[in-house]
Amino acid sequence: MAASVGRPLQVDLATQNKTRPSCARVKVETGEIMGKWVTIKYDYVPKYCKTSKLQGHNEKDCYVIHPELFPQEEKKDEKEEKELA
């Protein structure tokens, strides 16, 4: 895939050791700028929140933006009452 952009020169250690299967980093020499567009199709793109800068959720499900979505624990007194009943 990197060859479609330019001449592949080097990969990072995680790509070389296959310890990060979700993505690959390749240093590419492009040389002359060509007027050619390369379409890249991803099988899976993880959710990413630009606000909290964390993977695993997007802005719609972010606890920072929407604190009401954060799972609330029952108050200790209410929990004890339920156990006694």
What single string gives the DSSP state of each residue in 9-70? EEE-HHHHHT--TT---EEEE--S--S-------S----EETTTTEES--GGG-TTT-GGGS
Structure tokens at 71: 């799972």
Q: Is the pTM of this model over 0.85?
A: no
Rounded to whole angstroms, the Cα distance separating 46 from 54 reads 10
Per-residue confidence at 8, pLDDT binned at 50, 70, 90?
confident
Per-residue confidence at 77, pLDDT binned at 50, 70, 90?
low
Q: Tokens 């050619």 identify what position?
A: 36
Rounded to whole angstroms, the Cα distance separating 49 from 70 reads 15
